[in-house]
Amino acid sequence: MYIFQPIYKSLEYVFIQVYKFVLGTLAQGPIPRHVAFIMDGNRRYAKEKGISIAAGHLAGAQVLVKIMDTCFDCGTDVVSFYAFSLENFNRPKEQIDVLMNLLEAIVGEMGENDPLVKKHNLRVRVLGRLELLEDSVLRVIAKTMNATKDNRGKVMNICVAYTGRDEIASAIRETVAGSDFPSKIMVNSLTENMFMGVPLLDLLIRTSGVYRLSDFMLWQCHQDTDIEFVEVNWPDFGRLDIGLILLRWQSRRRALAYV
């Protein structure tokens, strides 16, 4: 083990220098204001590693925190994660319990005294059909959201019991109920009643090599939204991966500016 320590230290040094270079380069140009992630591949990762599905999801949860921190360090204002779809309620109960326990743990840690919350003056929002969740999970969500609601720095959205189509249907119901003149309902009216609100999405990233949106943020995706499909599973997705994706996004924006 000790024989390899100099190699590990050298590799760590190289990684840090590359990462600093990426951050420095990103600071010189435009940054996506809103980045969203479909965190796919936790179960596939567990199978490949020969570990339990619960351990795979735990590894994915740890990556969520790291990637969120990295995005904010790079200058992004809002980061959204697809944590639990409405369709996920069809999974076996033990898998649902694992995901809900992780959600409760992650959200519960992000109170006003959490170092990451302090670092980014972070506002935590959990969005979706929250009435479908267990009371114990709802209490934790309410506590953290209330503790961070006045923060005016970065924003993290965790989408739970969520699908894009359900969000759109809900926004239509809210908009129509609040309007005496349906003919006056405009795009902005619907946007204001979405779970997500603004800003719209600049960059959507899905891991594990699956090429579909899975009913995520259908309204927020627009003509200028870039979509990146990454071959690695979510627990293997790292700081350098997101840094290089942001560099590609920045390069495309610079190219468009000269067209």
Catalytic residue numbers? Answer: 40, 88
The residues facing 203 across adjacent strands are 35, 226
Q: Are 225 and 205 in contact (CB under 8 A)?
A: no
Say how far apart CA 195 and CA 126 lie, in whole Å.
9
Question: In 4-30, which positions are buried (b, 16+ CB within 10 angstroms) versus exposed (e)?
Answer: eeeeeeeeeeeeeeebeebbeebeeeb
Say how far apart CA 87 and CA 124 lie, in whole Å.
24
Residue 14: which residues within 8 A CB-CB, separation 6 or more?
none
Q: Are 81 and 36 in contact (CB under 8 A)?
A: yes
